[in-house]
Chain A
Amino acid sequence: MAAAAGAAGQEKQLAPTLLSFFIYNPKLGPKEGEEEKKILFYHPNEVEKNEKIRNVGLCEAIVQFTRTFSPTKPAKSLHTQKNRQFFHEPEENFWMVMVVRNPIIEKHKDGKPVYEYQEEELLDKVYSSVLQQCYSMYKLFNGTFLKAMEDGGVKVLKERLEKFFHRYLQTLHLQSCDLLDVFCGISFFPLDKMTYLKIQSFINRMEESLNIVKYTAFLYNDQLIWSGLEQDDMRILYKYLTTSLFPRHMEPELAGRDSPIRAEMPGNLQHYGRFLTGPLNLNDPETKCRFPKIFVNTDDTYEELHLIVYKNLTSPFSLPATASIPPTLEFCRKLDSIVGPQLTVLASDICEQYNINKRISGAEKEPQFKFIYFNHMNLAEKSTIHMRKTPSVSLASVHPDLMKILGDINSDFSRVDEDEEIIVKAMSDYWVVGKKSDQRELYVILNQKNVNLIEVNEEVKKLCATQFNNIFFLD
């Protein structure tokens, strides 16, 4: 899948790309000749009107057709030689469609390029999940489609969709999507009880003294420690923070001293932290105090909140919080002065613990395996396969073929409810093991020469005993 991989000889592999992405509602233009009204958003916009209508019509027809066979579960995807279409109906009658071109192997035959479409490379579950996340992300920052319709009809909805997806679609990196996109999990930072309670206490006091703060989360770098938001909202907010907001702010920092933010630091010393959303400079009374709005609990209380992301300068913590009314500069200064010093104290506590943890786990020899763990119940995710997330991609450190096997095992798992275990012998001494116990899934990639099935099984047992001894994970 990755473009970098295996461009051996004359062969050249072209990664999957986004062909088109559109959102429509069949109820909006039911009459003939009014088909265009159904279309709420279409990417790329340059496509000729009739083609747009044709494509939308085709999707509508497919969904309608498959509905006759399975009234509750109409088609989710359509496989063709050149591409794959994914359908998603997040709200009643609102359809989102994503068309992805299959990866291509470009060969040269008699001096002419020949394209070979890899029809079976893409995993349905991965890209369906990507499509669902598109909606979740939209909803986080804009609320539901229906809400926009209520606010100002089709016009407002179209504006919001345009504004959001125009930018968002550029950040989709379809070539590096894998199993983790299916899980869309949360990586938790391990902590001892006492430190955790201290953080609890800190957050509670902070929320008490800054009473417009409604919910707070607490992160250590990319890892979550606490979320006051409900699980589903946190899941998507976490995704936004770790794949978009944090990396965007990380880059200038990594860039070195010459970056503009670094340069302003000396004059900024009286401040403890920085607002990743909201004002850039607390000293500047002219600075704009605008925070992005987010929408949470949309099924229930439908809350519209302002997202404040505060990051401490001296510790790896960040504190995404949400406020019920727009925060002022005054508020930001207060938050900085209350939270800043305490975070620094907490940081030393936690760093100490982090080093202890590291020493304990570091004592053992680095094992010969890599794994992905996911728990559906709390969305806890742990991967030793993926490198650090960067703004552009989260790269897997193993061969795409192995990642594909993982994806296949996952699809198998999702078909049945019972506990399962699948062991696959892959190419060049690789073994892939998938285990499912209740709501947990574990995928292990082993690379050992001349081992048999029993030995692989033993290895995985050992792994479970060391990594997962405190949970009920059946061998």
Chain B
Amino acid sequence: MSREPPGPGEDEAPGAPVAAAAGAAAGAAAGAAAAGEGEGRARGGGCYLALCARPVHFEKANPVNCVFFDEANKQVFAVRSGGATGVVVKGLEDRNPISFRMEDKGEVKCIKFSLGNKILAVQRTLKSVDFLNFIPDSPQLEYTQECKTKNANILGFCWTSSTEIVFITDQGIEFYQVLPEKRSLKLLKNQSINVNWYMYCPESSVILLSTTVLGNVLQPFYFKSGTMSKLSKFEIELPAAPKSSKLSLSERDIAMATIYGQLYVLYLRHHSRTSNSTGAEVVLYHLPREGSCKKTHILKLNRTGKFALNVVDNLVVVHHQDTETSVIFDIKLKGEFDGSTTIHQFVLPPRSIQPYQIPVAGPASVTSQAPVPCKLYSSSWIVFQPDIIISASEGYLWSLQVKLEPVVNLLLDKGKLMDFLLQRKECKMVILSVCSQMLSEPERGSLSVIATVFDKLNHEYKKYLEAEQSYTMVVETGLSRSNPLLKRPVRTQAVIDQSDMYTHVLSVFTEKKEAPHKFTIAVLMEYIRSLNQFQIAVQHYLYELVIKTLVQHNLFYMLHQFLQYHVLSDSKPLACLLLSLESIYPPAHQLSLDMLKRLSTANDEIVEVLLSKHQVLAALRFIRGIGGHDSISARKFLDAAKQAEDEMLFYTIFRFFEQRNQRLRGNPSFTPGEHCEEHVTFFKQVFGEQALMKPTTF
């Protein structure tokens, strides 16, 4: 469903207040004196909301051009002279406009494409809807469907798929399947119910109907592939008992949006003088697919006047026309819980949307005049869910965006800032820059703040690793076939892993060397602590960074203690790194050997290390200790023994291998494959031929 921007033929003149047209505010509170605080006007910078840079430009509404917006496809329809002189459809997503002509059969009330632009539906009367196929090679003639219920007036319609459509009448809803080849519609289901007004959320395929005299009982319906299911109805608590039996809940005060994957009905409750509230508030009703709808959150606006709602990046944005500012709420942030609902204050101080320059029309080469600043919070603005702002009078459609960089300076509590940023879509680079910032002057954070930030990042990181791990496990065990719903976990930008931290934050930070080394090391240890706390295996390059930093400052004893308590986990690369430090810190040799020993897969390396230090006997004892002495190369050991220039050592090693040969082959002499001829010669030279072992025969 769409609420059409006021066209020229309608009662409301173009440029009607945004609230009036777009389902926000006005109503009861419109008369209440809006406190013109103008706090947001004080442009202290930090505009965290902005209009998208590439808006959809359309011919603005005028007496011969009607403009419509379809929330499902996010398309703007400019219908000139009832379509006879052309219809231009432009969308935010598909940039190529669709243009066509259609016969002028009267004033168009509503016009929408089915999903995928397959079929066009046009409502021109209160009783029927006309259809036109846009599928290639299908009949091009228009066909019409009247509503089934007698005496009912069609309030509107909405497409729920490429061929399914719902008519909403004042007496109920009718669910049809369109058969484009037959140019006819088949009624799938209908339901009688008195309807004041309706609302459609295309993201979740839910239609909400306002019923009863007061209009505050809402009946949701859910549509999915040819089925229509009635969800449990619920009542919106009105701020004050209405005096008369008239419609008391306006569609302007209701919005539907998906926030953090859940469908919510947002109700803008105006400030009432009788209640002791300090201002208007937005009440969120959680509408689950199953079960009943519950009031879960209250967003305190602390002001009165005209408001409009958007939902961007899971944030509820509330625009306030009187002060020309907006505030945002994040329902995932901690609020005040009263047992059933959570009360939230706005996350950031109110700010205006970032000033916007309207690009001057015409080819870029010709335009020399300065772009025109756009009037923000204009009364001609119309707001649609979730994030659309339309200026009918200027002919622009924008999507609203949240900018994260300004938030950094507005939210000084770094813990809260991280909670906020981690929930945002495009958060990665901002988070990394916050991390860098808090490690360097002039805004260096305290270690406890840094620890909090690291913990928050790693909490998110761990969640992803766990999801990934359980997914892999299910796939490997072959259980995935029995569970078709299983999806590979999505890696959001909030997953800041070790390599991100290393590349963008830690390595840069340690290289800068502006901080005292004590702080540098404390930060690195804090990060490693945090990873350990979340049981995340620490990558080698982080250890390397720690070691490098410690070595740079000659803090070998510190390094030694870290290794002693296995804070730097064992690995072959780390052991090799330690070996390389031996010349500047001799105990590194022992640390390295210990590490190799613990790894238990590095026996060859241990032998190499010992041989390189001419500790031939030690190497031999080691290899014998682990039972590997039958397969080692005699030549390697004899080489090392000879290099040690210790004749007795050479004798011992030589004799050991003679004995091995005897034991394994029954003969003490070396085989040609062992390439020990030169050593045999050397042995004879030094100790004489008779010293060679004689083959023992039994």
Cross-chain contact A230 with B557 (CB below 8 angstroms) = yes
Is A207 interfacial (CB-CB < 8 Å)?
yes
Q: In the complex, which residues of chain B have a beta carbon less than 8 angstroms from the beta carbon of A196?
A: 565, 567
Among listed A27-35, A112-120, A171-179, A186-194, interface-contacting one: A186-194
Contact with A along B354-393 (1 / 0, CB 8 A): 0000000000000000000000000000000000000000
Is A148 interfacial (CB-CB < 8 Å)?
no
Is B224 interfacial (CB-CB < 8 Å)?
no
Q: In the complex, which residues of chain A have a beta carbon less than 8 angstroms from the beta carbon of B532?
A: 193-194, 197
Cross-chain contact B596 with A197 (CB below 8 angstroms) = no
**Cα A475 to Cα B533 with chains together (Å):** 37
Is B587 interfacial (CB-CB < 8 Å)?
yes
Which chain A residues (232-252) contact chain B, with CB distance < 8 Å?
Answer: 234
Cross-chain contact B447 with A204 (CB below 8 angstroms) = yes
Contact with B along A194-229 (1 / 0, CB 8 A): 101110110011011100000000000000001110
- Nearest-neighbour CB distance to chain B for A197, whole angstroms, equals 4
Cross-chain contact A474 with B567 (CB below 8 angstroms) = no
Residue of A198, A375, A471 most packed against chain B (CB within 10 A): A471
Is B463 interfacial (CB-CB < 8 Å)?
no
Which chain B residue lies CB-closest to A190? B565
**Contacts A472-B594, A474-B625: A205 and B561 contacting too (C-beta < 8 A)?**
no
**Cα A39 to Cα B447 with chains together (Å):** 53
Is A151 interfacial (CB-CB < 8 Å)?
no
Among listed B94-102, B520-528, B662-670, B675-683, interface-contacting one: B520-528
**Cα A470 to Cα B586 with chains together (Å):** 20
Q: In the complex, which residues of chain B have a beta carbon less than 8 angstroms from the beta carbon of A471?
A: 594, 597-598
Cross-chain contact B447 with A472 (CB below 8 angstroms) = no
Cross-chain contact A201 with B451 (CB below 8 angstroms) = yes
Q: In the complex, which residues of chain B have a beta carbon less than 8 angstroms from the beta carbon of A209?
A: 446
**Cα A153 to Cα B365 with chains together (Å):** 88
Which chain A residue lies CB-closest to B521? A204
Cross-chain contact B518 with A207 (CB below 8 angstroms) = yes
- Nearest-neighbour CB distance to chain B for A60, whole angstroms, equals 36
**Cα A474 to Cα B594 with chains together (Å):** 11
Cross-chain contact B594 with A470 (CB below 8 angstroms) = yes
**Cα A380 to Cα B565 with chains together (Å):** 12
Contact with A along B585-596 (1 / 0, CB 8 A): 011011101101
**Cα A226 to Cα B562 with chains together (Å):** 9
**Contacts A198-B529, A439-B587: A472 and B567 contacting too (C-beta < 8 A)?**
no
Which chain B residue lies CB-closest to A203? B522
Which of B451, B560, B590 has a CB less than 8 Å from the CB of A472?
Answer: B590
**Cα A207 to Cα B532 with chains together (Å):** 22
Is A429 interfacial (CB-CB < 8 Å)?
no
- Nearest-neighbour CB distance to chain B for A342, whole angstroms, equals 11
Contact with A along B603-631 (1 / 0, CB 8 A): 00010000000000110011001000000
Is B448 interfacial (CB-CB < 8 Å)?
yes
- Nearest-neighbour CB distance to chain B for A233, whole angstroms, equals 10
Cross-chain contact A474 with B622 (CB below 8 angstroms) = yes
Cross-chain contact A377 with B587 (CB below 8 angstroms) = yes
Which chain A residues (368-384) contact chain B, with CB distance < 8 Å?
Answer: 375, 377-378, 380
Q: In the complex, which residues of chain B have a beta carbon less than 8 angstroms from the beta carbon of A201?
A: 447, 451, 522, 525-526, 529
Cross-chain contact B597 with A470 (CB below 8 angstroms) = yes
Which chain A residue lies CB-closest to B622? A474
Cross-chain contact A197 with B590 (CB below 8 angstroms) = no
Q: In the complex, which residues of chain B have a beta carbon less than 8 angstroms from the beta carbon of A234?
A: 557
Q: In the complex, which residues of chain B have a beta carbon less than 8 angstroms from the beta carbon of A106?
A: none
Which of A193, A231, A438 has a CB less than 8 Å from the CB of B557?
Answer: A231
Is A121 interfacial (CB-CB < 8 Å)?
no
**Cα A228 to Cα B553 with chains together (Å):** 13
Q: In the complex, which residues of chain A have a beta carbon less than 8 angstroms from the beta carbon of B589?
A: 438
Cross-chain contact B598 with A193 (CB below 8 angstroms) = no
Is A401 interfacial (CB-CB < 8 Å)?
no
Total residues of chain B contacting the partner, CB 8 A:
38
Contact with A along B267-281 (1 / 0, CB 8 A): 000000000000000
Cross-chain contact A200 with B447 (CB below 8 angstroms) = no
- Nearest-neighbour CB distance to chain A for B526, whole angstroms, equals 6
Cross-chain contact A472 with B587 (CB below 8 angstroms) = no
Residue of B533, B589, B594 most packed against chain A (CB within 10 A): B594
**Cα A99 to Cα B589 with chains together (Å):** 40
Which chain A residue lies CB-closest to B529? A197
Is A419 interfacial (CB-CB < 8 Å)?
yes
- Nearest-neighbour CB distance to chain A for B438, whole angstroms, equals 14
**Cα A198 to Cα B522 with chains together (Å):** 12
Q: In the complex, which residues of chain B have a beta carbon less than 8 angstroms from the beta carbon of A475?
A: 621, 625
Q: In the complex, which residues of chain A have a beta carbon less than 8 angstroms from the beta carbon of B625?
A: 474-475
**Contacts A194-B532, A472-B606: A378 and B587 contacting too (C-beta < 8 A)?**
yes
Residue of B526, B565, B618 most packed against chain A (CB within 10 A): B565
**Cα A230 to Cα B585 with chains together (Å):** 14
Cross-chain contact B528 with A197 (CB below 8 angstroms) = yes
- Nearest-neighbour CB distance to chain B for A359, whole angstroms, equals 20
Cross-chain contact B561 with A227 (CB below 8 angstroms) = yes
**Contacts A194-B532, A201-B526: A474 and B621 contacting too (C-beta < 8 A)?**
yes
Q: In the complex, which residues of chain A have a beta carbon less than 8 angstroms from the beta carbon of B586?
A: 377
Which chain A residue lies CB-closest to B591? A377
Which chain A residues (429-475) contact chain B, with CB distance < 8 Å?
Answer: 437-440, 470-472, 474-475
- Nearest-neighbour CB distance to chain A for B155, whole angstroms, equals 63
Q: In the complex, which residues of chain A have a beta carbon less than 8 angstroms from the beta carbon of B566?
A: 193
Is B564 interfacial (CB-CB < 8 Å)?
yes
**Contacts A193-B565, A475-B625: A200 and B606 contacting too (C-beta < 8 A)?**
no
Q: In the complex, which residues of chain B have a beta carbon less than 8 angstroms from the beta carbon of A380?
A: 564
Which of B564, B569, B606 has a CB less than 8 Å from the CB of A378?
Answer: B564
**Cα A419 to Cα B565 with chains together (Å):** 26
Q: In the complex, which residues of chain A have a beta carbon less than 8 angstroms from the beta carbon of B557?
A: 227, 230-231, 234
**Cα A440 to Cα B618 with chains together (Å):** 14
Cross-chain contact B560 with A378 (CB below 8 angstroms) = yes
**Cα A375 to Cα B563 with chains together (Å):** 14
- Nearest-neighbour CB distance to chain A for B350, whole angstroms, equals 35
Which chain B residue lies CB-closest to A205? B447
**Cα A318 to Cα B591 with chains together (Å):** 28
Q: In the complex, which residues of chain A have a beta carbon less than 8 angstroms from the beta carbon of B587?
A: 377-378, 439
Which chain A residue lies CB-closest to B566? A193
Cross-chain contact A377 with B560 (CB below 8 angstroms) = yes
**Cα A375 to Cα B589 with chains together (Å):** 13
**Cα A132 to Cα B46 with chains together (Å):** 66
- Nearest-neighbour CB distance to chain B for A355, whole angstroms, equals 19
Q: In the complex, which residues of chain A have a beta carbon less than 8 angstroms from the beta carbon of B590?
A: 375, 377, 438-440, 472
Q: In the complex, which residues of chain A have a beta carbon less than 8 angstroms from the beta carbon of B529?
A: 194, 197-198, 200-201
Q: In the complex, which residues of chain A have a beta carbon less than 8 angstroms from the beta carbon of B598?
A: 470-471
Q: In the complex, which residues of chain A have a beta carbon less than 8 angstroms from the beta carbon of B622?
A: 474
- Nearest-neighbour CB distance to chain B for A323, whole angstroms, equals 15
Cross-chain contact A197 with B525 (CB below 8 angstroms) = yes
- Nearest-neighbour CB distance to chain B for A17, whole angstroms, equals 37
Cross-chain contact A208 with B522 (CB below 8 angstroms) = yes
Cross-chain contact A197 with B447 (CB below 8 angstroms) = no
- Nearest-neighbour CB distance to chain B for A331, whole angstroms, equals 18
**Cα A378 to Cα B557 with chains together (Å):** 8
Which chain B residues (504-551) contact chain A, with CB distance < 8 Å?
Answer: 518-519, 522, 525-526, 528-529, 532-533
What would 11 A/B residue contacts be, using CB atoms closer than 8 Å?
A193-B567, A197-B528, A197-B529, A204-B522, A204-B526, A205-B448, A207-B518, A208-B447, A234-B557, A378-B560, A471-B598
Using CB atoms and an 8 Å cutoff, list the residues of chain A in contact with chain B. Answer: 188, 191, 193-194, 196-198, 200-201, 204-205, 207-209, 226-228, 230-231, 234, 375, 377-378, 380, 419, 437-440, 470-472, 474-475
Q: Which 8 A-B pairs have the closest CB atoms?
A: A204-B522, A377-B587, A197-B529, A472-B593, A472-B597, A196-B565, A471-B594, A205-B447
Using CB atoms and an 8 Å cutoff, list the residues of chain B in contact with chain A. Answer: 446-448, 451, 518-519, 522, 525-526, 528-529, 532-533, 557-558, 560-561, 564-567, 569, 586-587, 589-591, 593-594, 596-598, 606, 617-618, 621-622, 625
Q: A197-B567, A205-B451 are in contact. List 8 more A-B contacts (CB 8 A).
A: A196-B567, A200-B529, A208-B519, A377-B590, A378-B560, A419-B618, A470-B594, A470-B598
